[in-house]
């Protein structure tokens, strides 16, 4: 009897899943068409004007209440079932990158844009075109199923995930600041990212830290200029910089508990000096810190000024640390309870054999700003064709980046099923 009751209790969920599957099959061709259009016409961060108009037109065609100009170019729409229940947020990022596409596709990008005052090629080199198309598809299905929903769905199409232009605000942080998670207040938020290295029809998940916090930094070392033949007359900022770089690396290798707290400190640029026989008076260093939990992040924030000052003092130089320097993202952190609650939905949607527990990555995602405010889950959805070896799959943010159209239907189904199941459970 107990087994029978359990089976009966799952019937509504199974019926919803079957309906979603049929509808995802029905609109797959449209989702692919949307993706191809968006891929051919990418736009850079905070400049996604045509992209936003394309999204808004589709959402209005579904009869949704649509708001544009959110965080400059974002689009938000609300689906109200008319029945009491939770508010579920669904997010897709919409910006492209300053990358020249190297793929031979009928819908290859030829777009140009302006980045830091220069004309650059633009490409959806991280799959945001697929994210938009998948969320547009989920919106269409959820509108069709409105009578079976409880509560509200807030569709969030977010600009500038790749970072706002210099001197501008943008992305999820600005959306949160402008109140995107309020009125109505979002109870839980779901997002996903296509993966060029994971097989089509697979979904990768983990609880806790899934993507790293990112904290750029800048160090300016000031010394005393002298002729290169007489170094004793100088306070050498170049030698000081060399000492500082090596010393800072010991924060991770000797101070962070790497068994629990994976972390990275990378120097990306060194600028100083003009010729071989002049010791300059100044050197600038810039780099990035990546951490997967707040314990490691807090420790590095404490250690960086200590190391910078200690080395500078020992070399008779002055040093100024700016941390963070520019955009800083918190850890993309999947809520433990919410992840456990939604795991059966992932298994039901993708098939248990296709649901893969993944390792965290040291890339960063500003979806983390939403997760700081409300419980959220961020997933990876496979986009690699099955006949491509993972080691041959082109990486994200490269000219050869490619993901298969076949990967999007699972994303549509996941967004839809997670919304429905969360509503039914709350």
Catalytic residues: 95, 161
DSSP state of 390: G
Rounded CA-CA distance 72/272 in Å is 37
90 in Cβ contact with 158 (< 8 Å): no
Phi/psi of residue 20, each to 5°?
-60, -45
Contacts 24+ apart (CB under 8 A), 240-247: 240/283, 240/311, 240/312, 240/315, 240/317, 240/319, 241/270, 241/272, 241/283, 241/285, 243/311, 243/314, 243/315, 244/219, 244/285, 244/307, 244/308, 244/311, 244/312, 244/319, 245/285, 247/307, 247/310, 247/311
Determine how β-strand 208-211 pairs with β-strand 278-279: unpaired
DSSP string, 107-126: T----EEEETTEEEE-B--S
- Residue 126 bridge partners (DSSP): none
Determine how β-strand 188-199 pairs with β-strand 87-93: parallel
Determine how β-strand 188-199 pairs with β-strand 376-384: parallel
DSSP state of 255: I
Rounded CA-CA distance 20/231 in Å is 73
- Residue 87 bridge partners (DSSP): 152
Q: Which helix (H) or strand (E) holds 33?
A: helix 2-40
Nearest to 194 by CA among 411, 341, 421, 392: 411
Place of tokens 């960063």: 364
Rounded CA-CA distance 331/263 in Å is 12
Sign of CA dihedral 313, 315, 319, 324: negative
Give the burial class of 104: count Cβ atoms within 10 A of its Cβ; 0-12 exposed, 13-18 middle, 19 or more buried.
exposed
Rounded CA-CA distance 238/271 in Å is 9
Place of tokens 């030829």: 110
The three-state secondary structure class of 85 is coil
């Amino acid at each position: 009897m107990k087994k029978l009751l359990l089976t009966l209790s799952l019937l509504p969920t199974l019926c919803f899943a079957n309906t979603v599957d049929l509808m995802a099959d029905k609109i797959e061709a449209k989702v692919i068409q949307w993706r191809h259009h968006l891929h051919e016409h990418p736009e850079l961060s905070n400049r996604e004007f045509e992209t936003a108009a394309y999204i808004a037109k589709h959402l209005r065609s579904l009869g949704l209440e649509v708001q544009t100009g959110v965080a400059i170019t974002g689009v938000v729409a609300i689906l109200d079932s008319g029945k009491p229940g939770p508010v579920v947020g669904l997010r897709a990022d919409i910006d492209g990158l300053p990358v020249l596409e190297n793929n031979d596709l009928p819908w290859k990008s030829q777009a140009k844009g302006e980045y830091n005052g220069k004309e650059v090629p633009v490409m959806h080199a991280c799959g945001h075109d697929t994210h938009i198309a998948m969320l547009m598809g989920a919106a269409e299905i959820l509108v069709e199923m409105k009578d079976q929903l409880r509560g509200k769905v807030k569709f969030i199409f977010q600009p500038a995930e790749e970072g706002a232009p210099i001197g501008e605000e943008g992305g999820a942080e600005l959306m949160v600041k402008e109140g995107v998670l309020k009125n109505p207040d979002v109870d839980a938020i779901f997002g996903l990212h296509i993966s060029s290295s994971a097989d089509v029809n697979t979904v990768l998940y983990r609880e806790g830290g899934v993507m790293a916090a990112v904290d750029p930094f800048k160090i300016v070392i000031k010394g005393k200029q002298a002729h290169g033949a007489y170094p004793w007359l100088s306070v050498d900022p170049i030698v000081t910089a060399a000492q500082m770089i090596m010393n800072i690396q010991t924060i991770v290798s000797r101070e962070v508990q790497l068994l629990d707290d994976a972390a990275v400190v990378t120097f990306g640029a060194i600028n100083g000096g003009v010729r071989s026989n002049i010791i300059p008076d100044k050197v600038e260093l810039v780099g990035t810190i990546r951490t997967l939990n707040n314990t490691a992040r807090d420790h590095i924030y404490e250690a960086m000024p200590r190391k910078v000052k200690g080395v500078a003092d020992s070399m008779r130089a002055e040093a100024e640390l700016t941390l963070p320097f520019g955009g800083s993202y918190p850890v993309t952190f999947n809520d433990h309870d919410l992840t456990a609650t939604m795991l059966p939905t992932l298994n039901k949607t993708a098939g248990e054999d296709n649901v893969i527990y993944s390792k965290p990555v040291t890339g960063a995602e500003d979806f983390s700003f939403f997760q700081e405010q409300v419980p959220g889950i961020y997933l990876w959805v496979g986009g690699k064709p099955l006949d491509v070896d993972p080691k041959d799959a082109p990486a994200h943010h490269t000219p050869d980046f490619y993901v298969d159209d076949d990967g999007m239907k699972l994303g549509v189904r996941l967004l839809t099923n997670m919304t429905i199941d969360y509503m039914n459970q709350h």
